[in-house]
A and B are shown apart, each in its own frame.
Chain A
Amino acid sequence: MGTRTRLVGRHIATFGGVVFVSSIVFGALVWWAPGSPQRIDAGAQLDQGFWGWLLSFWLGLIQFDLGPSYRGIPVDQLLVKGAIKSLPLIVLSMILSVGGSLLAVAIMGTRASSSFPLVRTAIHSISLVPVFLLGYLAVVLFAVPPDGVFQALAAIAILAVGDGMLTDIFLGIDDEVDQLLDRDFVHSARLRGVPVGPTLARHLALPLAQIAADKMAYVVGGVLVIEKVLGIQGIGWMGYRAATHHDFLLLLAITVAVTSLVAASQLGVDLVRLATDPRTTPNVSGQEVG
């Protein structure tokens, strides 16, 4: 087995470990919660302890048959239904935020060369506003209709901007572009009259993916808020409702699903870096370099 394969295996093992240990932690919280229906049901009817119950949860997760929720609807069906609404919001808001930031940097230049200080300040100011406030203002001022395309568009725009999302991504991209423009190969390419755009794009792809992966946990938190504010029945809305109604099985499934999503985004970036970045090469001892 090659060292590169071992490194891939190590990253996948880290991902699996994060999901596995997280499910134990959240499973323990659900099990020992005051008046936990899981503990009462499992103890009274199935004569299971914590580990037996958790094992049946893992098996259910693998087979995608987690049993019924508090409302009697299968948990896996609810998860799919929620994911269909939430995943597009997460992905599109991320694309909008990264794309908007790239466009802004392309138009205004980086911090060092910017001649648009007011526009930059405006971007920072709007981005400082929390997601729930932007959602609130959308409801109060613009009377976003309760269902439909406008609601989803409003949610995507708010997630792309609020809770400091746009500022963080904008500053991250700004820093990356600034550092990249200062590299020797870019200077020499310019001196030789070669267009630097394609080179910049190639070198920016991985840092952009890293910035987006780092913000994934924040967007998932934002989804919980904005879905509740705008009444979009996605994963966040269901999670909030499950928490309020003490539907702990659904809550555990949603928590494990969103933790897996965040960990998977990091895993994706790690694997792409391993495959594409020549600086990340395994050395003799199998340690990652770069």
Chain B
Amino acid sequence: MTLSSLWTQRHRQDQMGPVSVFGFGVLIGLVGLRIAAMFVDSSPRLGLQDEQLLPAMAGPSWDHLLGTDQLGRDLLLRMVDAVEAFFLPGLFACLVAALIAVPTGAIAGYWEGSKGAAVLRGLLTMISAWPRLVLVVVVVAIFTGSVRDPAAWAEVRLYLLGGLVGLSYIPQLGGAVSERVQHFRREQFVEAARAHGLSDRRILLWHILWANCRHLVLRHTCTLFGAFILVETSLSYLGDYGVPPPRPSWGNILAGVRHSVVHSRSLMASSDSWSPAGLWGGVEQAIQHGGLLGVLAPTIAIAVSIAGVLALAEHYARRDRP
């Protein structure tokens, strides 16, 4: 194979397909929303006169593209502001997982058979038996459940959440890195590097981890970021352990409009609840009460964000293939 054909083949591998474009598009969108969220204050009700207050559950208009929520706050602004709840804590989760799992996995894989590696493997096995959501709920409940002012502790709680989600992902990332390092430590180029007198640390850090594991780590951190969005929105929806109101999260926006939407739905909840007419009646009620966008906007935002970061993970999985 000539050098030019090798270059062409590599260039073809680097070309982005629709999945990669979608993934990077969502990432750019999330970064843009995070920057926009710094300039947005979505709870301007305090200090306003009665006549300045917006009507609750208003439908969409030119002034308020997504309408208002159950307390008359602009839904679009709250949707943008809610990105703050998961963006930096999600990156913190990735950082925690990468900082612990990559060295742990690398040591367990490179010095396979040593006592230290056996202990690390035992730790990874133990953490993998802890269900992520159960771990998060238990620890957050224990350490922040007795806080008197949850809003003041929201930031701490989010980063605690990030740390725990990162911790719970260590077995997956650590296991993948360990497996990869185990595979490469027997390769000829590693033997050659050893024969040239390169230290184990240099071989491991540069020739194995950087050259052959970085796409694997990126792939797993993207998946972890998606998992964090899932955990944060789930807990914020359930209340108690996620983002406390009035601070917005896509999860608590959904929870906020739930009561009015369920109420409007319950008007139709008669014997024909499961029939198409009953279903459509519920949707119609929800539109009239302005709650449909309050349901649809966060639902779509959560699904698209998770799909986007998983598409990015798929992009790195493709780059990772030798």
Contact = CB atoms under 8 A, between A and B. Distances in A.
A142 B275 CA distance: 9
A231 B76 CA distance: 30
Interface residues of A, number: 50
Contact of A239 (B134, B145, B274): B134
A244 to B, nearest CB: 6
B261 A243 contact: no
Interface string B211-251: 00000000000000000001001100110110000000001
A140 B251 contact: no
Contacts of B268: 143
B129 A266 contact: yes
A217 B128 contact: yes
A142 B282 CA distance: 9
Considering residues A29, A140, A222, which has the most beta carbons from chain B within 10 angstroms of its beta carbon? A140
Contacts of A259: 129-131
A94 interface: no
A53 interface: no
A185 interface: no
A42 B137 CA distance: 24
Contacts of A136: 237, 254, 258, 295, 299
Contacts of A29: 138-139, 142
Interface in B190-220: none
Considering residues A29, A220, A243, which has the most beta carbons from chain B within 10 angstroms of its beta carbon? A243
Contacts of B139: 29
B230 A163 contact: yes
A153 B131 CA distance: 23
A224 B142 contact: no
A18 interface: yes
Contacts of A18: 125-126, 129
A133 B126 contact: no
A259 to B, nearest CB: 5
Nearest to A135: B237
A33 to B, nearest CB: 4
B96 interface: no
B43 interface: no
A222 B269 CA distance: 27
Contacts of A282: none
A130 to B, nearest CB: 5
Given A14-B125, A136-B254, A225 B265 contact: no
A146 B125 CA distance: 38
B302 A139 contact: no
Given A17-B122, A266-B129, A228 B138 contact: no
- How big is the B interface, by class? 35 or more
Contact of A132 (B238, B265, B279): B238
A218 B145 CA distance: 24
Contacts of B230: 130, 163
Contacts of B299: 129, 133, 136-137
Given A141-B282, A143-B269, A217 B130 contact: yes
B130 A22 contact: yes
A132 B143 CA distance: 24
A224 B134 contact: yes
A244 B265 contact: no
Interface string A210-251: 000000011011101100110000000001100110101001
B129 A125 contact: no
B137 A129 contact: no
Given A221-B132, A240-B238, A141 B265 contact: yes
A263 interface: yes
A222 B238 CA distance: 12
A268 to B, nearest CB: 13
Contact of B131 (A130, A139, A228, A262): A262
B5 interface: no
9 contacts: A33-B142, A130-B230, A141-B265, A217-B130, A224-B134, A240-B240, A244-B141, A259-B131, A266-B129
Interface of B: 122, 125-126, 128-134, 137-139, 141-143, 145-146, 230, 233-234, 237-238, 240-241, 251, 254, 258, 261-262, 265-266, 268-269, 273-274, 279, 282-283, 286, 295, 299, 302-303, 306-307, 310
